[in-house]
Amino acid sequence: MPKPMIKAEPAPAEEEAPAPPRAAPVAPPRFALQLLRAGDCALLVELPTGESFQSRDPAYLLLKDLLRAAGLPDSPQQVGDGSPIRWPLLTRGNLDQGPEAARDYVQGVLAGQLESQPCACLWLIGLPAVRFAGEADAEAFNRELTIDGLGAAWALPGLELLMDEPERKRELWQAMRRIMQRWKPVV
């Protein structure tokens, strides 16, 4: 007598909980900034080449022109030991070097310097300066910012960007005329 065939029900597939999506590791931002002083203003300037300005650098010559137009001394002085503020700090290791850590570091360096040498206005020149000191983006260019712990700041496009896109200078000049009262007494 043949055995009756028993259809086996397939075992219910165990639903695997989807693995939580792994956050893609964020590459640390890379930038070099120079802190300078001109009159009653501190300048946090993006260093396009990553190296300190040389007297004949076109970007440095443009900075001198901007300072002259603002009625400030056109030979900015280095602040502190003159070393650029570089990020990331380390090339290897497990230290958090993401955007938040970069912001905390830049703001900490600035706070320390501005505590010992207060200023009427902090110029943030270039996107890395605006982003990591001012917590803003390119939309803030040519606008005033108020930064907790640092005070009044002015966000400017980078010197390289101004050289590459000279039409931006007009908007910068108009903003400078509005903001100039911060560092230049009205006569």
The DSSP H or E segment spanning 178 is helix 168-179
Name the token pair of 61: 């010559």
Query: What mean pLDDT comes out for the span 156-177?
Result: 96
Instruction: Compute the distance between CA of residue 128 and CA of residue 139 in angstroms, rounded to an integer.
Output: 13
Q: pLDDT-derived band of residue 165, with 50, 70 and 90 as boundaries?
A: very high
Rounded mean pLDDT, 26-32? 88
- Of 39-48, 51-60, 92-101, 134-143, which range is least confident? 92-101
Q: Is the peptide bond before 20 cis (omega within 30 degrees of 0)?
A: no
Contact 34, 78 (CB under 8 A): yes
Lowest mean pLDDT among 4-13, 44-53, 106-115, 149-158: 4-13
The residue-averaged pLDDT of 44-53 equals 92
So what's the pLDDT on residue 25? 61
Average pLDDT, the chain: 88
Asked whether the predicted pLDDT for residue 62 surpasses 90, the reply is yes
pLDDT (0 to 100) of residue 14? 54
Q: Supply the pLDDT for residue 109.
A: 95
| pLDDT score recorded for residue 184 | 86
Model confidence at 13, in pLDDT bands (50, 70, 90)?
low
Mean pLDDT along residues 155-173: 96
How far the first Cα of the chain sits from its last, in Å, is 117
| pLDDT tens-digit series, residues 85-108 | 999 988 776 778 899 999 999 999
Task: Give the CATH class of 31-178.
Answer: alpha beta
Domain boundaries in the chain? 31-178
Residue type, 10: P
The pLDDT, as a whole number, for residue 12 is 54
What is the distance between the alpha carbons of residues 178 and 184, in angstroms, rounded to a whole number? 11
Reported in sequence order, the residue ranges of the chain that DSSP labels E, i.e. its strands, are 31-38, 41-46, 77-78, 85-87, 121-125, 143-147, 151-156
pLDDT band at 9 (very low <50, low <70, confident <90, very high): low
**Of 121, 123, 126, nearest in space to 29 by CA:** 126
